Homo-oligomer: A and B are copies of this chain.
Amino acid sequence: MPLIRIDAVEGRSDAEVKLILGTTHSAVLAAFGVHLRDRYQVYTPHPKANMVIWDTGLEIPRTDQFLLFTVFSKQRTEALKVRLYEELTQRLQSAASIAPSDVMVCIIENSAADWSFGNGEPQFLTGKLS
């Protein structure tokens, strides 16, 4: 946790996807300070015609490199969320030459009882995770 879904325009190689997923994980570690093995990622490529991403008038240019991050997480402070946006954009630019204007993030929060990471257990309730 967080669980991160990444939607993108199709066309990347496995190696490019691997770089994006690894860079995303490094940003989550830096921003949220989670466990090194706290990594849950699903990358979904889409035909270009199936994604329409504009900018609410913010004049943010989009290219086919665009990445939409949907982040499912327990509650985090505003400061941590802002840190995530910064780490993600900086690291994706450095490591994968993805422009900050091509990175959009939407966070959805839930609670301790809402996660089971396996074995039918609610690990945040049983105290295995905190």
Give the dominant DSSP class at A's interface.
mixed
Q: How many copies does the complex hold?
A: 3
- Contact assessment for B81 and A114 in the assembled complex, using a CB-CB cutoff below 8 Å: yes
Contact B38 A120 (CB under 8 A): no
Which of B21, B109, B119 interacts with A101 by CB under 8 Å? B119
In chain A, residues 101-117, which have Cβ atoms closer than 8 Å to a Cβ of chain B? 101-110, 113-117
Q: Are B37 and A56 in touch, CB under 8 angstroms? A: yes
Q: Pick the contact of A129 from B56, B81, B103, B106 — CB < 8 Å?
A: B56
Q: Which residues of B contact A56 (CB under 8 A)?
A: 1, 34-35, 37-38, 117, 123, 129
Q: A14-B49, A49-B18, A58-B129 are in contact. Are A104 and B117 (CB under 8 A)?
A: yes
- List B contacts of A119 (CB < 8 A): 60, 89, 100-101, 103
A88 to chain B, nearest CB (A): 7
Known: A34-B56, A56-B123, A78-B122. 5 other contacts (CB 8 A): A18-B49, A38-B54, A41-B52, A82-B122, A107-B115
